[in-house]
Structure 1
């Protein structure tokens, strides 16, 4: 199959990859992966004759040339991205270059760190009647953020948040969320190197977010979960409420219960 597949590798745990993604790794003629972000155990499953290249030292044109050469030789190429390819990756530029060269490609989604961290923390982003919205964002840094998407502006919605690429300045992160009107007692979970050996998750309140990050040395590879829905008890979901009817189930009356 002469085609490129962008495959989400998940957050670090080699088991947190889709069956389809793992199957493509086993079949690939070329695997391009970022060695600093993708677990080596994933690419060790490649065929003995497959070309496996760490893209950490390569630029965009160099990675494109490898993909193009593989496909034009009739091969199957896997571009292995950490987490999910659609989030904070460089897939858009790569896809444009493939399209310009009429090279076919597909995308296989992956588990992003926010969802792996929520699972590890045993927390839910959405809570009935408390919050039903999740904002995935980051602080402005070397990659700027639009003015309308500053953290204090987004915090004013009081929605759940998953904040990436912001561990270098936890004090600024905490300050912006508080300026945006979030309750200082808002529960937070800090997921550091989720899925990797030595990774951990810690809990705190928003007022202690920066101090907690500093205490544990979380200066990079950390996703911050801001969970305002956990402040209230919240209502129960209607999905399994015996008194709630839907197309597959009739509602029970109090006498029937």
Structure 2
């Protein structure tokens, strides 16, 4: 069996209980060495074979899985964050389907969730934003034209932008074209939940300058939106669910 496991956002204790169990039982671990916290590898048992996929091609990863299967071994494919988001797992699962090799997926804490927790932020605030757009800028790997950063920015929803730290000047330009005020809040979070985490609060017009001043060139989450401003600035509404005059099936409100 192959277990695709989300390693979490960085801190080793943010892996799920299930993921930790798989990691402790694994005979072979293939981990995304460019992003996964190596502290997690301390959970593996003596004799576990550990392979760093940062130095491997897709074919080499699949061959390692096939070899483990032939030898009756259990493999953990350890991906950063949650494997469903920019995890490149579909191509691996398709290959395994062709070879009739069984697998499952264990979710993890995505870096955007870890970053929000570090900020003590709620990404959806009543009256401000009720949607979160998870996306990235087009770089060496393109994006479908219908999902261009510029077109998604038109919604002015909360944005969590992956894999785009080297494209902040272009991001500023496209946000301005989408009608963002220059003082709209933005945050750059370097290695969220890691010991070396760095949080830089700025605006949509100072993203590139702020990253440069703080020496941040990669491995950062970019957040954009009014939810990151003060209550005085964004004027969010409190949840109706807990309002005294709001009735639910569990509680009678004063509106009855």
What is the aligned partner in structure 1 of residue 168 from structure 2?
Answer: 170
Deviation at 1:206, TM superposition (A): 1.5
Among candidates 51, 54, 71, match of residue 53 of structure 1: 51
- The SS at the match of 1:169 is helix
Asked if the contact 1:152/1:178 (under 8 Å) is kept, the reply is no
Q: TM-score, normalised by structure 1?
A: 0.94
Once residues 218 and 78 of structure 2 are traced to their aligned partners in structure 1, the CA distance between those partners, rounded to angstroms, is 21
User: What does residue 24 of structure 1 align with?
Assistant: 22
The unaligned stretches of length 5 or more in structure 2 are none
How far residue 152 of structure 1 moved from its aligned partner, in angstroms, is 1.5
Within 1, Cα distance between the matches of 2:95 and 2:55? 19
The residue aligned with 2:235 is 233
Structure 1 Cα separation of the partners of residues 83 and 70 of structure 2? 23
User: Following TM superposition, by how much is the alpha carbon of 1:253 offset from its aligned partner in structure 2, in angstroms?
Assistant: 4.9
Once residues 149 and 20 of structure 1 are traced to their aligned partners in structure 2, the CA distance between those partners, rounded to angstroms, is 34
Distance in 1, Cα, partners of 2:63 & 2:118: 39
Deviations 1:139-185 (A, max 9, x none): 00111011111111111101000011111121111111111112222
Q: Is the 8 A contact 1:121 1:189 kept in 2?
A: no
Residue in structure 1 matched with residue 140 of structure 2 by the alignment: 142
Deviation at 1:73, TM superposition (A): 2.3
- What is the TM-score when the length of structure 2 is the normalising length? 0.94
CA RMSD of aligned residues (A): 1.4
The aligned counterpart of 1:250 is 252
Runs of 4+ in 1 over 3 A off after TM superposition: none
